[in-house]
Amino acid sequence: MIAKVAGLALLGMMFSCGSDSNDAPAKCDALVARVCQRWIACTNSSATQAECVAVQKTSLPCAQADAVSDGYNSCMSELQTSPCSVLAANNTINLPATCISSILFKQ
């Protein structure tokens, strides 16, 4: 079963100014991949990485990402090091605070 990661949409935030980051879509893809990797490992899900990524991208359109926040690198690190008992508590992914609004989209 592939559960849509609660809060994944919160990774994105609209902004109206600032510089563009050409690698934002790739960084968004990497973040979604990391979330799925950890979700599958923590929950022993039978879903494949590709299935998980496809489901998560329905709520986070990485191709439209324009920039990443200053907390992006911390988010990626914390996703990798947070214990499963925290990340997958109550069968819901609990994103580190640094992940909230780490992917930015122009209005």
| Whole-structure pTM value | 0.80
Structure token digits, residue 38: 């950890």
53 pLDDT band, cuts 50/70/90, is very high
| pLDDT tens-place string over residues 73-90 | 999 999 999 999 999 998
105 pLDDT band, cuts 50/70/90, is confident
Q: What is the 3-state secondary structure (H, E, C) of the chain?
A: CCCCCCCHHHHEEEECCCCCCCCHHHHHHHHHHHHHHHHHHHHCCCCCHHHHHHHHCCCCCHHHCCEECCCHHHHHHHHHHCCHHHHCHHHCCCCCHHHCCCEEEEC
> CB under 8 Å to 58, separation ≥6 — which residues?
4
* Average pLDDT, integer, range 4-27: 58
